[in-house]
Amino acid sequence: MSLRHITTVLGAAAAAVVLSIAVPASAQAAQGILTIDATTYQDPADGCLDVGGPPAPRHFVANDTDAPVLLYTDPGCQGRPVHLVPPGDGDFTPFESVLIGLPD
C-alpha cells in the first residue's frame, strides 16, 4: 500500500468522522432553557422565534442553553442582528425576534 493511498484512506475516514459528529448536532434543538420575559422554552428548536410586537419593545432574555442566540429588532429574524447572547448569559434590550443557533 502506497503512502498516497494511506493518506487518501485516512483523509476519507477523518471526513466521515467529522460529518457523523457535525450533522446530527446541527439537526438537534438547543439543550437547556431559553427564557424570554416570563415564557420559558425547554430545548428550543434551532431557528427563528418571533417574540415581540412593534415597535421593538424591551424584552428580557436569559440563554441557559448550549447554543448562542441572536437578537433582531425586526420580526422573522430579518435585517441585521443587534445583539449576540452566548450560552449562560442574558440581556434586557429591544428585540422582536430571536435566532436560536447561528445561521449557516
User: Per-domain residue ranges for the chain?
Assistant: 30-100
Please report which confidence band the pLDDT of residue 97 belongs to, taking 50, 70 and 90 as the band edges.
Answer: very high
Residue in 8, 64, 13 with CA at minimum distance from that of residue 36: 64
Q: Domain 30-100, what fold?
A: Gamma-B Crystallin; domain 1 (2.60.20)
C-alpha cell at 67: 447554543
Strands 39-42 and 32-36: antiparallel
**Range with top average pLDDT, 13-17, 44-48, 55-59, 92-96:** 44-48
27-51: average pLDDT: 90
C-alpha cell at 66: 448550549
pLDDT per residue as tens digits for the range 74-94: 899 999 999 999 999 999 988
CA distances 30 to 9, 10, 26, 54, 58, Å, are 34, 32, 9, 27, 24
What integer pLDDT is reported at residue 51 of this predicted model?
87
- Residue with the larger pLDDT of the pair 87 and 4: 87
- Residue with the larger pLDDT of the pair 6 and 59: 59
Please report which confidence band the pLDDT of residue 67 belongs to, taking 50, 70 and 90 as the band edges.
Answer: very high
C-beta of residue 64 within 8 angstroms of C-beta of residue 35: yes
In angstroms, rounded to a whole number, what is the distance separating the alpha carbons of residues 31 and 47? 14
